[in-house]
Structure 1
Amino acid sequence: MKFSYKFSNLLGTIYRNGNLVFTPDGNSVISPVGNRITVYDLKNNKSRTLSLESRYNYTNLALSPDGSLLLAVNEQGEAQLISMMSCTVIHRHKFQTGIRCLSFSPNGQYFAVAIENLVLIFLSPGEITGEYNPFVLKRRFLGGFDDVTWLDWSSDSRLLAIGCRDSSTKICAVNFTRNFRTYNLSGHTDAIVACFFEANSLHLNTISRNGQLCLWECSLSPSDLEDAIKPEIAPTQSKKVKSEDSDNESEDDVEDVVEKQAPKDEGTAATEDQNELKDEAEKQRHPFFYKKLSRHYLADEPRKEQRDVQLTAANYNQRTKVLVVAFSTGAFYLYELPDVNMIHSLSISDYPISAALFNCTGDWVALASREIGQLLVWEWQSEQYIMKQQGHSSEMTCIAYSSDGQFIATGGEDSKVKLWNTQSSFCFVTFSEHTSGVTGIQFSRNKKFLVSSSLDGTVRAFDLNRYRNFRTFTSPNPAQFSCVAVDYSGELVVAGGQDVFDIFLWSVKTGKLLEIISGHEGPVVSLAFSPVATSSTLVSGSWDKTVKIWNCMESNSEHETLDAVSDVTNVTFSPNGEEVAVATLSGNITIFDIKSSSQVTTIEGRNDLSSGRLEADMITAKKNTQANYFSTIEYSADGECILAAGKSQNICIYHVREAILLKKFHITQNHSLDGLNDFINRKHMTEFGNMALVEEREELEGGKVALRLPGVRSGDMSSRRFQQEVRVFCVKFSPTGQAFAAAGTEGLCIYALDKGVVFDPFDLSLEVTPKAVHEALKRLEYTKALVMSLKLNEPNLIALVLERVPYRDIDLVCADLSPEFAQRLLQQLARQLQATPHIEFYLQWSCCLLTKHGNQDGVFQHTGLLALHEVLSRKYEMLNKICDFNKYTMKVLLDRADKLEQENGESNKTLNEDSDEEMLLIRVPENEASQSQFSDEEESDSGSD
C-alpha cells in the first residue's frame, strides 16, 4: 500500500474569522478557515482549500487587482505573500503586532497595512512597479488617536481614506505633495466601520458603528486635484529647510494680511470678518476641502425590533452605487446612494454578521457570521442564494463514508447530521431532527439510507433519495445511545447504551425493537457488524474491559467474551471479516481472530501520539503522554494497515502483521489551538508562576473568565472562553483506498494520494522503455505495447496506448492480458474515466475486461472495483442531468419543427390555391372578351344580312 497521502481539502469549516475577498472576475470568494484559506468557485459549484497553512488563525486577506497575489496576515501579525498561480508562499514578513486591515490600491502599485493607529504603504512586487523585493516601505501615516478600522483607496490610487475608532476619518496623499498633507473629517459619534470613495470621484461616504451615514462632497475633481497638489521634488537639505521657512512665511503673510485688512477696534464684527478672510485665504492656499451633504441614521429600522443594535459590517459597490450594511441582529439592508433609498432587507440568522462584501459587478453580496461559521452569497436582484453553507457550530464527533466514496456524512455536538459531496466539497443536505449531540453515524451498504444515534435517546434513519427521516428507533425505557451499526444487508440496526449498558436491535423495514441484548457491565462505546455478506456477527466493546462477539440471528445468550485488559474505546472489523481490532484505554491496539477468539498481535502506540502540554496544565507533556490512548481506529481497504488517532494532532498508520509504525501525519500546526507545544514559553513564566493560570477578566468583576473549569474538555456551556484543544474524534478510510478523512478540531480534513509525477514502475526490465512502446504501436502489436506501458506505470503513456487500440480489437486485447495486468488496467481505467471525454470508448474497455476476467476469483481487488463504481456513478449523475435537459430541449425543438412544417404546408397550400384562382381570374376576361367579340361579329353579320 502506498502512503504518499497529502492534504487535499478541508470540509465542515466554512468560515472562521476575518474578511472575505472576491476574485477579480467575481466568480469566486476567498474565505479564511482557521489557519487555512478556502476558495469557493461559485460558477462551477466547487471549493478547494489551499495546501499551505499558517501558525495562527488568519484574520485579514487582501487580493491584488489582477488576482495573482494574495496577502494573508494571521492574528500574531505574521504576513504571507501568496502566489495564486502556484498556491505557494513566496515571502513572509513579521509585523510587531496584529494587523487591523489590509487593502491593495486599484492600480496594483501599492498595498496599505494598518497597525494599531499607524498606516504603512508598501510597493507591490511585480511588473507594474518594477520592484521585486517584497514589503518595500514607501510611506507611513499616523491614522488617528485610536486604532484604524478601515482603509479605502480612491479610483486613481492617489488618495487613501483612513477610518479610525476615534470616530474620525483622515484623507492622505500617497505621493509627497507640496500643498497637501492630510485632511481630517469629523462628525460621527461612534467608531468608523467603513468609508468609501465614489467611482472616478473624490466624494466620500463614511459609516459609523451606531448606524450613522455621512455623505461628503469634495471641492475638487480628480483632474483638478492633479493641478492643485503638485508632487514635491526631492530637494536637498538646504532646499528643504528653505521650503519649510517659506511655508512658515506664507502662514505669517496670511495672518498679516488678515490683520491689515481687519481693524482691531471693531469688536466682534471685526473678529468675524477676520475669520471669513482667514477662511478665504486658507481656501486660496488649500483649495482641497470637503463639505458634508447629509447625514442618515441607518440603524433606526433594525432598532424597531431590538434595542442596542450595532452596525457590524458594510460594503459599497461603486459601479451600481448600492450600499450593504449588516447589523448585530443578523439582518442586512441594501441602500441606493446618494438618495439612501432602501431597496432590500433580509435577516439570515440571529447572530451578528461579521463580514459583508460585493463582487465586482455588484450582483452578488457575500455575508459571513463568525459565531455559527456561516457563509452565504446572495443575489439581491433575483433574491436567490448563490451559495449557502454552514458548518457544525460545535465539534464534529463522527463521520462515515458512503459505499462508493462519493458522500461523507458527519454528525456533531450541535445535534445535526450533514451530508458532504467529496467532489464539490459542499454540504447539500442537513438533518436537524435530533435534539442532542450525535454520537454515531453509518451508511447502509446500498447507499439508500443512513442511520445516526444520539444522546437524545433516538436512533434515526434518513432516506437519501427524498432526504427525510423515515424511521425513528427508540428503546422501551429512555436511554442515551453512544454508538450505532448497520448489518451488511441493511435490514438490522443496533445501538449501544451509554447509561443502561444494553444493546438494542431493530428491524429497518418494520421499525420494531427485535431484541435487547444484555451482557455488558459498563457503557457500550463501539459496535461493528461483520462486512461479509454471509455473516451476521456483531462485535461490541465496552468500558467493562471486555469485547463480546454476538450472533444476531441466534439467542442473545450465546456469545463469546474477549478480555481486553483495559477499557475499550473502539472496535473495527477487517475487510475480510476474519479479524477485529480493539483500541483500549491503555494506548494499545489488540488484534483478535474471530473464529478462534485468540489474540493475534498487539500494537503499542501510546508514545506515538505525543500529546503536548496545555497552557493551564500543572504537569509536563511527558506526563500527559502516559494518559494518551487511541479513541478511533480504522482498517485500510486492503486490510494490511490500521489508521489510528486520538487526543493529539497525530494520525498514525500501523502495519498489522509487523505491529510497527509506518507513517505519522500532523493534521495541523495551528498554535491558536491548545496542546501543540511540548513546553511552555518562558515569557509566560513569571515569579508568580504560569500567567495562563492567572484569572483575567475582560470587564469589571463578573465579566468573562479566560480560564476553563478543571476537567472540562469541550466547554462548560457558560460564558468562559478558552483555546480549543487539538483532538481527532474520528478517522475513516475511503472505500476506494485513495483517501482518508479525519474529523478534528479544525474540521474534516481530507488526505488523498499524491497524484503528482511519481515514477513507480512494476516488474520493470531493461527492454521496457517508452520508445519500445511507440515502436510496438507502429507494428500494431497492441497487447505488447499495453503490457509495457502498464509496467512503466505512466498514466499518459497508458492512455496513449489505450486510445490507439482499434475499437473492434479491444475484446481480443483484454483476453490476452494476465490477471495481474488486468487488475492494474482496471485501476487505470477508473483513473482515466474521471477526465476523459471518450466515455463510451473506456466503458467498452471496462466491459470487456470485466467480462473476460471477472469470473475468476481474486483477479480484481475490492478497491479497484469500488473506484470504477465511484467514477461511473459520478458520470451517470452528471450526464443524467444533461441528458434530461437535452431531452426536453430536443422535444421542444422537434415540436416547433413540426409546427413550422405544418404552417409551411398550409401556407404552400394556400399559395397554390391563390395561384389557381389568379389563373382563373386571368382566363375569365379572355373568354368574356372572345365571347363579346364573337357576339359582336354575329350582330355585324346579322346586320349585314
Structure 2
Amino acid sequence: MKFAYRFSNLLGTVYRRGNLNFTCDGNSVISPVGNRVTVFDLKNNKSDTLPLATRFNVKCVGLSPDGRLAIIVDEGGAALLVSLVCRSVLHHFHFKGSVHSISFSPDGRKFVVTKGHIAQMYHAPGKKREFNAFVLDKTYFGPYDETTCIDWTDDSRCFVVGSKDMSTWVFGAERWDNLIYYALGGHKDAIVACFFESSSLDLYSISQDGALCVWQCDTPPEGLRLKAPTGWRADLLQKDQEEEELEEAGERETTVQGKAMPTEEERKGKVKYSRLAKYFFNKEGDFNNLTAAAYHKKVHLLVTGFASGIFHLHELPEFNLIHSLSISDQRISSVAINSSGDWIAFGCSGLGQLLVWEWQSESYVLKQQGHFNSMVSLAYSPDGQYIVTGGDDGKVKVWNTLSGFCFITFTEHSSGVTGVTFTATGYVIVTSSLDGTVRAFDLHRYRNFRTFTSPRPTQFSCVAVDSSGEIVSAGAQDSFEIFVWSMQTGRLLDVLSGHEGPISGLCFNPMKSILASASWDKTVRLWDMFDSWRTKETLTLTSDALAVTFRPDGAELAVATLNSQITFWDPENAMQTGSIEGRHDLKSGRKELDKITAKHSAKGKAFTTLCYSADGQSVLAGGMSKFVCLYHVREQILMKRFELSCNLSLDAMEEFLNRRKMTEFGNLALIDQDTGEEDGIAIPLPGVRKGDMSSRHFKPEIRVTSLRFSPTGRCWAATSTEGLLIFSLDAQMLFDPYELDTSITPGRVREALRQQEFTRAILMAFRLNERTLIQEALEAVPWAEIEVISASLPELYVEKLLEFLASSFEVSRHLEFYLIWTQKLLMLHGPKLKSRAGQLLPTVQFLQKGIQRHLDDVAKLCDWNRYSIQYALAVSRQRGTKRTREAPGLEDAEMSDEDTETSDEDSLHLLGGAEDRGEDMMLT
C-alpha cells in the first residue's frame, strides 16, 4: 500500500478573518481560512486550498495586478511570497510587527504595508531571481494611531492611508515637489476605507460612524512635479546632463520625466484639497457601525458593510442609493468587488460565511458557510463522491469531494450532532444527536423522512447502520443502553442492556449481522442481530474503550482505549491478536495554562477515533493531538505520522512554553489581549450600556474528532479544529516504475505502436509507469481490437489498467472508449479476479465512483433532451390539428404533417433506444 498522502483540500470552513480578493480575471475569490488560503473558482464551481500554511492565522492578503503573485501576512507579521501559478512559496519575510493591510501599486512595481502608525513602501519582487525579494524603499510617518487602509492612484504616483486617529494622509510615491504629504480631517471616528477617484487625485474617506467625505484636489495627476535632487545626487545628475549636452548638437530644453522645467510661479503652487460634501449612511441603533467598504472606480460603485449584517450599494459622487440588503445578523468583516464590477464578495467572520452577490440580477453566485462550532463526525458515501459532516451546532452538511462545496444543509437537530453515517445505497444519511433523536435524511428529496426516538429522553453518542440498511442502532450516553430500530417502519425493535458505562462507539460487521459496541466500562460486546439480539461475546479490555471499528472484510476488530493503546481482536474466537502502544506517537502539545509539561500531559491523552484503510492492511488513528498516525496492522509499526496543522493561533501546539509570557504576577495568557480591537471585547465604563461583556476570545485546542478513509483508498479525511482536511495520494509527482530494465524506453513504446504491436506497447508503458505514455498507448488501440488485447493481458497488468481507467474517468472526454475497455476487462478477467476481491475492492470502488458520476450527468442531459423533444412534438401536433381545423380541404398538407409526425416519433424512439443503450453500457 502507498502511504505518500499529501494535503489536498480544506473543506468545512470558507472564511475566518482577513480581507477577500478577486483574481484579475474576476472569476475567482481568494479567501483566508485560518492559516491557509482557499481559491474559490466561481466559473467552474470548484474550491481549492493552496498547499501552504503560515504559522499563525492569516491577517491580510495582497494580490499583484497581474494575478501571478500574492503576499500572505499572518498575525505575527511573517509574510509568504507565493506564486499562484505554480502554487508554491517563493520567499519568506518578517515585517517585525503586526500588519493591518497590504496593497500593490497598479503598475506592480511597488507595494505598501501599514504597520502600527507608519506606512512602509517596498519594491515589489521582480520577475528575475533576486537575493532579497523585499527591499524597503521609504517609510512614511504622520498618523498618531494605527493605520487601517490603503489605496493607490491609477498611475501609481500617490497613495492614501487611513488611520484610527480619524485622519487621512495622502503621500507621494516619488519625491514630488508640490506634494510631500497632505493630512485630511473632518471625521469623528476611525477611518475604515479611503479611495481615489479614477485618473484623479480626488478621494473619498469613510469612517466607522457611517460618514463619507468627498475631497476635491485642485491639481491633476499630471501636475505633480519631481523635486530637484540635492547634494551628491544633484552633482551626479549635473555631470550626466553635461555629457549628454556635449554629445548632442544644438540646444534643447531641460526636461524632467518628459515635462518642461516648471516656472517660478508654478513651483510656488502646492497641491490643495477641499471638502466638497459630507454624507451620512442610514444607521439603525448604536451598534450599527460601518465595518467594511469597497469601491469600483470604473462604474463608480461604492459597497459598504455594517456590523448588523446590512450592506448598501451607492453610486458616487452623487451618493445615490442603488440597493440595500441584510445578509445575516453578524458583522460584515470584508468586502471585495471583481474587475468587471458585477460580483461583490462578503465575508462574515462571526458565522464563517462567504457570499458572492451579483447586484444587477440580485442573485447569489456563491453562498457557503461552514459549521459554526467544531465538527464532530464525518462519513464517506459508498462511491466516495460525497462527505457528510456533523457539528456541535446541530447542523448536518453534505460536501461534494470534486467541487469542495456544500450543497445541502440539514438543520432539524436542535443540539449537537454526535454521529453520522451513510447506508449501503448511499442515498440515506443517518445521524444521532444529543437532542435525543436519531434522524434519517433522503438525498433524493433532501428531507428528513424518519425520526427515531427512545421511550424516555436520552442523549445519543453514536450511531450505526447495518450493511442492508434495514437496522439502525444508537448508543446512549446517560442510560448505558443500545437502541435498535427498523428503517422501514421506524419502530423500536429492542433495547440492548448490559453495559455499565456510556456507549462510546458502535460498528456493524460489514459481512455479518453482528454489532460491536464499545463502552467506558472497559468492555466491547458483540451482539448477534439474528439471534434475538443476544450478547454473542464480551471482550474485556484493560481500560475504557473510546472507539471501535471492523476491518472491511469483517475478520478483525480494532479498539482504541483510554491508555493510548490500540488492540486488535479476532471477533470469531474472541481472542486478541495484537496491540499497539501509541502514547509516544501522539506527541500532544502543552496548553498555555497547563501547570505540567507536554511530556506528562501526554499520559492523559489517547486515540479517540479509528479507521481501517480500504485494503485493511493499515489503520488510521487520531485524538487529542495535531498528529494522525498510520499504523501497519500485521507488523504493528508506525508507517507515517501526518501533521494536520502548524497554526500557533491554536492551543496545545507547542511542546514548550514561552518563558517571556511568565511574569511574577502570573501567565500573560490570562489577560485578554484583544481588548479594544474592532472584533475584540470592549470593556465599557460604569453606566455605559454599549458593548457585549459576554464575548471573550479564546484559543481553541487542536484535536482530531473523526477519521475516515475514502472507499476508493485514494484519500482520507479528518475533522479537526481547523475544519475538514483531505489528504490524497499525489500520483502526478511520483515516478513509480514497475519491473523496469534498460531495454524499455518511450521510443521503444512508440515503435511498437507504429508496428501495431499494441499489447507489447501497453505492457512496456505500464512498466515505465508514465501516465501520458500509458494514455498514448491505450488510445492508439482501435476499438474493434480492444477485446483481443484485453484477453492477452497478464493478470498483474489488469489491476494496473483498471486503476488507470478509474483515474481517467475523472478527467478524460473519451467516455465510450474507456467504458469499452472497462467492460471487456471485467468480462474476460472477472472470474480470475474474484480470488483477490479484497485487494481489488478499492480499485473497483474508485472505478464505480467515476462511472456513477458520468451516469448522473449523462442521465440528466438525456432526460432534458427527451423532454424537450416531447414538448416540441406536442407543439407541432397542436399546430397541425389547428391547421387541419382551419383548412380541412388540404389533404396533401395533412398527409405531409402526418408523415412529419411519424418521422419525429421514430426519431424520438431511436433517441430513447440510444439513451437506454448508453445507460446499460455505463451500468455494465
Q: TM-score range by the shorter chain?
A: 0.7 to 0.9
- In structure 2, how many angstroms separate the alpha carbons of the residues matched to 1:398 and 1:467? 20
Q: Does 1:500 align with 2:449?
A: no
- In structure 1, how many angstroms separate the alpha carbons of the residues matched to 2:786 and 2:202? 71
Contact 2:672–2:697, Cα closer than 8 Å, also in 1? no
Q: 1:829 aligns with which of 776, 780, 805?
A: 805
How far does residue 24 in structure 1 lie from its aligned partner after superposition?
Answer: 0.6
Q: Does 1:795 align with 2:771?
A: yes
Secondary structure of the 2:355 match is strand
Counterpart for residue 398 of structure 1: 377
- In structure 2, how many angstroms separate the alpha carbons of the residues matched to 1:883 and 1:320? 42
C-alpha distance 704-549 of structure 1, shift in aligned 2 (>3 A): same
CA deviations over 1:778-800 (Å, ceiling 9, x no partner)? 33222232233233332222222
C-alpha distance 828-333 of structure 1, shift in aligned 2 (>3 A): same
- In structure 1, how many angstroms separate the alpha carbons of the residues matched to 2:298 and 2:874? 43
CA deviations over 1:76-96 (Å, ceiling 9, x no partner)? 111111111111111111112
C-alpha distance 559-900 of structure 1, shift in aligned 2 (>3 A): closer
TM-score by length of 2: 0.88
- In structure 2, how many angstroms separate the alpha carbons of the residues matched to 1:428 and 1:91? 37
Counterpart for residue 296 of structure 1: 279
Q: 1:233 aligns with which of 213, 229, 234?
A: 229
Which has the higher mean CA deviation after the structures are superposed, 817-826 or 458-467?
817-826
Counterpart for residue 20 of structure 1: 20
- In structure 2, how many angstroms separate the alpha carbons of the residues matched to 1:789 and 1:308? 67
How far does residue 15 in structure 1 lie from its aligned partner after superposition?
Answer: 0.5
Q: How does 1:479-878 map to 2 (within 5 A)?
A: 479-532=458-511, 535-688=512-665, 690-693=667-670, 698=675, 719-765=695-741, 767-856=743-832, 857-859=834-836, 861-878=840-857
How far does residue 480 in structure 1 lie from its aligned partner after superposition?
Answer: 0.1
C-alpha distance 705-740 of structure 1, shift in aligned 2 (>3 A): farther
How far does residue 179 in structure 1 lie from its aligned partner after superposition?
Answer: 2.6
- In structure 2, how many angstroms separate the alpha carbons of the residues matched to 1:516 and 1:553? 14
Q: How does 1:5-154 map to 2 (within 5 A)?
A: 5-126=5-126, 133-154=132-153
Contact 1:61–1:72, Cα closer than 8 Å, also in 2? yes
TM-score by length of 1: 0.86
Secondary structure of the 2:784 match is helix
CA deviations over 1:305-347 (Å, ceiling 9, x no partner)? x333200001111111111111100111111111111111111
C-alpha distance 51-130 of structure 1, shift in aligned 2 (>3 A): closer
Q: Does 1:191 align with 2:190?
A: yes
CA deviations over 1:13-55 (Å, ceiling 9, x no partner)? 1001100011011100100001100000001000100001111
Q: Does 1:436 align with 2:415?
A: yes
Counterpart for residue 243 of structure 1: none
C-alpha distance 904-124 of structure 1, shift in aligned 2 (>3 A): farther
How far does residue 816 in structure 1 lie from its aligned partner after superposition?
Answer: 1.9
Counterpart for residue 438 of structure 2: 459
Secondary structure of the 1:855 match is helix
Contact 2:423–2:465, Cα closer than 8 Å, also in 1? yes
AA partner of residue 504 (structure 1): F
AA partner of residue 276 (structure 2): L
Counterpart for residue 261 of structure 1: none
- In structure 2, how many angstroms separate the alpha carbons of the residues matched to 1:873 and 1:99? 48
- In structure 1, how many angstroms separate the alpha carbons of the residues matched to 2:432 and 2:273? 64
How far does residue 553 in structure 1 lie from its aligned partner after superposition?
Answer: 1.9
C-alpha distance 530-201 of structure 1, shift in aligned 2 (>3 A): same
How far does residue 776 in structure 1 lie from its aligned partner after superposition?
Answer: 2.9
Contact 2:676–2:682, Cα closer than 8 Å, also in 1? no
Q: Does 1:181 align with 2:180?
A: yes
Contact 2:386–2:400, Cα closer than 8 Å, also in 1? yes
Contact 1:143–1:162, Cα closer than 8 Å, also in 2? no
How far does residue 690 in structure 1 lie from its aligned partner after superposition?
Answer: 3.8
- In structure 2, how many angstroms separate the alpha carbons of the residues matched to 1:234 and 1:403? 75
Secondary structure of the 1:833 match is helix
Contact 1:10–1:748, Cα closer than 8 Å, also in 2? yes
How far does residue 520 in structure 1 lie from its aligned partner after superposition?
Answer: 0.5
- In structure 2, how many angstroms separate the alpha carbons of the residues matched to 1:185 and 1:882? 60
C-alpha distance 284-757 of structure 1, shift in aligned 2 (>3 A): closer
AA partner of residue 558 (structure 2): A
Contact 1:456–1:480, Cα closer than 8 Å, also in 2? yes
Contact 1:696–1:705, Cα closer than 8 Å, also in 2? no
Secondary structure of the 1:854 match is helix
AA partner of residue 25 (structure 1): D
Counterpart for residue 161 of structure 1: 160
How far does residue 286 in structure 1 lie from its aligned partner after superposition?
Answer: 3.0
How far does residue 202 in structure 1 lie from its aligned partner after superposition?
Answer: 1.6
How far does residue 185 in structure 1 lie from its aligned partner after superposition?
Answer: 1.1
- In structure 2, how many angstroms separate the alpha carbons of the residues matched to 1:173 and 1:887? 65
AA partner of residue 602 (structure 2): T
Counterpart for residue 920 of structure 2: none
How far does residue 541 in structure 1 lie from its aligned partner after superposition?
Answer: 0.2
Alignment RMSD:
2.9
Q: Does 1:408 align with 2:387?
A: yes
- In structure 2, how many angstroms separate the alpha carbons of the residues matched to 1:215 and 1:865? 66
Secondary structure of the 1:858 match is helix
- In structure 1, how many angstroms separate the alpha carbons of the residues matched to 2:182 and 2:555? 79
- In structure 2, how many angstroms separate the alpha carbons of the residues matched to 1:131 and 1:597? 66
Q: 1:387 aligns with which of 361, 366, 370?
A: 366
Contact 2:178–2:271, Cα closer than 8 Å, also in 1? no
- In structure 2, how many angstroms separate the alpha carbons of the residues matched to 1:660 and 1:237? 69
How far does residue 694 in structure 1 lie from its aligned partner after superposition?
Answer: 6.2
How far does residue 373 in structure 1 lie from its aligned partner after superposition?
Answer: 0.4
Find the structure with the greater CA-based Rg: 1
How far does residue 904 in structure 1 lie from its aligned partner after superposition?
Answer: 15
**Identity percentage of aligned residues:** 48
How far does residue 58 in structure 1 lie from its aligned partner after superposition?
Answer: 0.6
Contact 1:819–1:859, Cα closer than 8 Å, also in 2? no
How far does residue 896 in structure 1 lie from its aligned partner after superposition?
Answer: 10
- In structure 2, how many angstroms separate the alpha carbons of the residues matched to 1:236 and 1:450? 77
Secondary structure of the 1:15 match is coil
- In structure 2, how many angstroms separate the alpha carbons of the residues matched to 1:460 and 1:70? 45
- In structure 2, how many angstroms separate the alpha carbons of the residues matched to 1:217 and 1:901? 70
Secondary structure of the 2:831 match is coil
Counterpart for residue 926 of structure 1: none
Secondary structure of the 1:558 match is strand
Counterpart for residue 346 of structure 1: 325
How far does residue 195 in structure 1 lie from its aligned partner after superposition?
Answer: 0.8
Contact 1:823–1:859, Cα closer than 8 Å, also in 2? no
Q: Which runs of 5+ in 1 are unaligned?
A: 241-280, 707-716, 914-945
How far does residue 221 in structure 1 lie from its aligned partner after superposition?
Answer: 2.2
Q: 2:308 aligns with which of 317, 329, 349?
A: 329
How far does residue 902 in structure 1 lie from its aligned partner after superposition?
Answer: 13
CA deviations over 1:86-123 (Å, ceiling 9, x no partner)? 11111111112110111111111110001111011111
Contact 1:536–1:553, Cα closer than 8 Å, also in 2? yes
Counterpart for residue 424 of structure 1: 403
C-alpha distance 332-697 of structure 1, shift in aligned 2 (>3 A): closer
AA partner of residue 563 (structure 1): T
C-alpha distance 200-882 of structure 1, shift in aligned 2 (>3 A): farther
Counterpart for residue 370 of structure 1: 349
